[in-house]
A and B are shown apart, each in its own frame.
Chain A
């Protein structure tokens, strides 16, 4: 039995995950917690948020995020691929900045208009 804190939302439920019984989760207050508990023990993932260079806008950086969680071990590789990107304003929320991040199928998308 493994105890972990759910990071899906700010409630921070304490989850107990039974590794011997197909990673059955208790202590979760919503279905997303059950999913997270199982995922965290079998194949942890994270949404990555960062910024990329942007020219011609109000600010020199544009915030981005992966449009879905990516494997935790690829987080730093994903960060590296952002260093090569320069956007040119105008940028719209949701614009794809990097497609298929590190072969995961996830994309980095812009999270603001700039």
Chain B
């Protein structure tokens, strides 16, 4: 019997396990399906990680390495090359591993830290033939950065998410020619700094409000057709551009990997595609917590770390005091202009120091007000000079605010100035 089983050994799982250890748990197991810890950070060899958490600029492997060393200094048990097949409401974790075979391990608390995966060509129903040469950006990143293969020489990238932008630069540095980055929305989904240092630095054109309308080629991609789209994202005839290329990379979004979560019956938020969580990252199944990209997709690993440390500490609290009642709950609703919030539910009696609230807006906004209301009472009014869907926002709800919240609050944004 473990006190805690952490599913996933990426940044979320590592931070959660370390925090649980610091908070006094001693029988902790981390289950990781890859051959090593670190998760996706191992292939993110670019820098820019850790500015918030370590106050210095690290590459992905360096960031992972610090947490791996931290974990190694504890007594946390790690099982690599092991896939979790199922968890049960009684917190039995079914797993199969190369060395250990099929095992069922029980725990007093479970942390879900499985991360997310990329949307594929099938998920966005791209037309055209089905030749080799169509990759998700993350798959190409693994080929280039860890396995030493260059997946193509002339490249078009669909989607302007951060991984796509990072791969535009990476493929260019490795000698490929990146002809275009194509984004269906009128704005980029990636961080502004990545538009500058990945596209502008290498004169790679960004086509906003454009999409791929055809993929041509029998065995290998030979051409990709790109067209402008109207407000309803429908291609406009006559605007087609034809690119001669051998590779199409897709950076069209990430989906939290929640098969285990759904299977055990944990409540899922259709807006985040992750579990509905309380202020301490506990899911609708008591003693089971979710953190990192499996709960909602983050832009910055630093925020994954902070959130996962919270989950680790909360799991330790749960192990010590498993029968603590639920108490009053404040439901957090996403109002006008807000696409989701995390957490979705707050128990004020467990948020004595207030509660941080992550959220995303649904469009690019200039000078704006962030409003927290309960019924028709305005509880908080925070201003921001700019808001964008690609950049997760964060406010803190004070204990005083939560005391006045009643049983629900609504978070909304309102633009006050021009962009």
Contact = CB atoms under 8 A, between A and B. Distances in A.
Interface of A: 4-10, 12, 46-51, 53, 58-61, 63, 65, 72, 75-76, 79, 93, 111-113
A6 B48 CA distance: 13
B335 interface: no
Given A9-B193, A10-B300, A12-B193, 16 more contacts: A5-B193, A5-B195, A7-B193, A7-B197, A8-B193, A9-B48, A10-B391, A47-B47, A49-B45, A59-B146, A61-B148, A76-B173, A111-B45, A111-B61, A112-B62, A113-B65
Given A58-B35, A60-B148, A63-B59, A49 B47 contact: yes
Contacts, number: 80
B45 A50 contact: yes
Given A5-B196, A10-B299, A58 B148 contact: no
Contacts of B147: 59-61
A79 B173 contact: yes
Contacts of B197: 7, 46
Contacts of B384: none
12 contacts: A4-B196, A8-B193, A46-B197, A49-B46, A51-B144, A60-B147, A63-B61, A93-B65, A111-B45, A111-B62, A112-B61, A112-B64
A58 B36 contact: yes
A5 B198 CA distance: 13
Interface in B13-62: 35-36, 42, 45-48, 51, 57, 59, 61-62
Contacts of B192: 5, 12
Interface string B131-169: 000000000000011111000000000000000000000
A21 B125 CA distance: 53
Contacts of A59: 146-147
A93 B61 CA distance: 9
A48 to B, nearest CB: 8
B59 A65 contact: yes
Interface of B: 35-36, 42, 45-48, 51, 57, 59, 61-62, 64-65, 144-148, 173-174, 191-193, 195-197, 201, 299-300, 391
Given A58-B35, A63-B61, A93-B62, A6 B148 contact: no
A10 B192 CA distance: 8
Contacts of A6: 193
Nearest to A63: B45
B191 A61 contact: no
B62 A51 contact: no
Contact of A65 (B47, B64, B174): B47
A12 B148 contact: no
A5 B174 CA distance: 25
Contacts of A10: 48, 51, 191, 193, 299-300, 391
Nearest to A54: B148
A60 B57 CA distance: 25
Given A10-B193, A63-B61, A75 B173 contact: yes
A4 B59 CA distance: 24
A49 B173 CA distance: 10
Given A72-B201, A112-B61, A112-B65, A63 B193 contact: no
A7 B45 contact: no
A33 to B, nearest CB: 11
A8 B56 CA distance: 11
Contacts of A7: 193, 196-197
Residue of A8, A48, A49 contacting most chain B CB atoms (<10 Å) = A49
Nearest to B64: A112
* Pairs of residues from A and B, 9 with the lowest C-beta to C-beta distance, nearest first: A12-B192, A112-B61, A63-B45, A7-B193, A111-B59, A12-B193, A61-B148, A7-B197, A9-B51
Contacts of A5: 192-193, 195-196
Contacts of A53: 148
Nearest to A6: B193
Contacts of B299: 10
Contact of B146 (A8, A46, A48, A61): A61
A54 to B, nearest CB: 9
Nearest to A61: B148
Nearest to A52: B148
Contacts of B148: 51, 53, 60-61
A97 to B, nearest CB: 13
Nearest to A40: B196
Residue of B46, B65, B193, B300 contacting most chain A CB atoms (<10 Å) = B193
B161 to A, nearest CB: 14
A8 B35 CA distance: 33
Residue of B45, B196, B391 contacting most chain A CB atoms (<10 Å) = B45
B193 A112 contact: no
B45 A12 contact: no
